[in-house]
């Protein structure tokens, strides 16, 4: 049976590795942070990572939960000053889209997570890590759902199922913000395909407008 000191050391090492992974994600992107470099950045051999995590997927998922913890606080700070549901949704949507803009690796991680069936992912990680991911996502989505629920009760929004609508807005924002991530759109000019620049601020504004439209509201 593990002693409290062993558990504490394990948690400390876990925190250290998650921090190192996120730092590499933020510096280089999700695709350019190999396990070997993560281990090297904290001064351990690659094999020791698997004494802390059962798989690289666990490290990946816990890094996402680290982003989600920060996003949770940002959403709460954005919503708190609003005195009515419309303003709360505008601020919440802008905060979420802005977070995706500030942390492209979070956007990439989230989209990558969505590409994998939930059952497959659950089979690759421990129950505790699965629950931590669920808590992280529910903490963020729950705040959005609460805003939608208040708006529906006041008649400001047309929403039958706030939890479902929150998930729709979450997914919608991730997909739209990928346009800001790549920074270009495609158009046809004189019969030929061409590219045009897309400003991130414009995409963030579109996310807010799309959120309001989805719940049957309009900007104040």
Q: What is the CATH number of the domain that holds 6?
A: 1.10.10.60
Q: Is the pLDDT of residue 50 over 80?
A: no
Query: Are 88 and 154 in a shared domain?
Result: yes
User: Among 11-15, 34-38, 106-110, 184-188, which stretch is predicted with the lowest mean pLDDT?
Assistant: 34-38
Q: How many domains, in total, are found in the chain?
A: 2
Confidence of residue 147 (pLDDT cuts 50, 70, 90): very high
Q: Is the pLDDT of residue 156 over 80?
A: yes
Arithmetic mean of pLDDT, 85-99 = 97
Q: Is the pLDDT of residue 59 over 60?
A: yes
Domain coverage including residue 172: 55-214
Is 111 within the bounds of a domain? Answer: yes
Q: Is the pLDDT of residue 1 over 60?
A: no
Choose among 172, 179, 32, 23: nearest CA to 101. 179
Is 220 within the bounds of a domain? Answer: no
Arithmetic mean of pLDDT, 119-137 = 90
Provide the CB-side half-sphere exposure for 178 (13 A, CA): 10
C-alpha distances out from residue 117 to 92, 122, 198, Å: 28, 9, 31
Query: Are the CB atoms for 55 and 125 separated by under 8 Å?
Result: yes
- What is the reported pLDDT for 17? 82
Where b means 16+ CB within 10 Å and e means fewer, 41-67 reads beebeeeebeebbeeebbbbbbbbbbb
CB atoms within 10 A of CB 142: 17
Query: Are 130 and 71 in a shared domain?
Result: yes
Is 153 within the bounds of a domain? Answer: yes
Query: Are 112 and 7 in a shared domain?
Result: no
CB atoms within 10 A of CB 34: 12
What's the CA gap between 20 and 59, in Å, rounded?
10
Look at 188 and 16; give whichever has higher pLDDT: 188
Q: Is the pLDDT of residue 3 over 80?
A: no
Percent of the chain at pLDDT exceeding 90: 58
- What is the reported pLDDT for 47? 64
Query: Are 34 and 67 in a shared domain?
Result: no
- What is the reported pLDDT for 6? 64
Is 127 within the bounds of a domain? Answer: yes
Query: Are the CB atoms for 147 and 79 separated by under 8 Å?
Result: yes
What's the CA gap between 172 and 192, in Å, rounded?
29
Arithmetic mean of pLDDT, 166-191 = 94
Is 40 within the bounds of a domain? Answer: yes
Strand ranges inside the chain, DSSP E: 184-189, 192-197
Is 123 within the bounds of a domain? Answer: yes
Q: Hunting for tokens 């698997």 — which residue is that? A: 50
Look at 29 and 211; give whichever has higher pLDDT: 211
Query: Are 178 and 89 in a shared domain?
Result: yes
Determine if residue 2 is left, alpha or beta; phi over 0 gives left, psi from -120 to 50 gives alpha, anything else beta.
Answer: beta
Query: Are 1 and 79 in a shared domain?
Result: no
Look at 161 and 219; give whichever has higher pLDDT: 161
Query: Are 191 and 163 in a shared domain?
Result: yes
């Amino acid at each position: 049976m593990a002693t409290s000191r062993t558990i504490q050391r394990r948690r400390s090492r876990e925190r250290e590795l998650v921090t190192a992974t996120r730092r590499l994600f933020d510096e280089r992107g999700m695709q350019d942070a190999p396990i070997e470099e993560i281990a090297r950045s904290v001064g351990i051999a690659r094999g020791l990572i698997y004494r802390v995590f059962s798989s690289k997927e666990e490290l990946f998922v816990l890094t996402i939960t680290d982003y989600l913890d920060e996003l949770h606080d940002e959403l709460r700070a954005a919503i708190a000053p609003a005195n009515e549901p419309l303003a709360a949704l505008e601020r919440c949507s802008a905060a979420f889209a802005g977070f995706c803009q500030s942390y492209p690796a979070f956007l990439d991680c989230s989209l990558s997570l969505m590409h994998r069936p939930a059952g497959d992912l659950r089979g690759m990680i421990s129950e505790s890590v699965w629950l931590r991911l669920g808590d992280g996502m529910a903490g963020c989505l729950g705040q959005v759902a609460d805003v939608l629920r208040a708006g529906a009760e006041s008649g400001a929004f047309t929403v039958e199922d706030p939890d479902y609508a929150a998930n729709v807005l979450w997914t919608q924002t991730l997909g739209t913000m990928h346009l800001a991530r790549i920074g270009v759109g495609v158009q046809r000019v004189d019969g030929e395909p061409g590219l045009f620049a897309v400003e991130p601020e414009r995409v963030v504004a579109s996310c807010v407008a799309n959120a309001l439209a989805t719940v049957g509201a309009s900007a104040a």
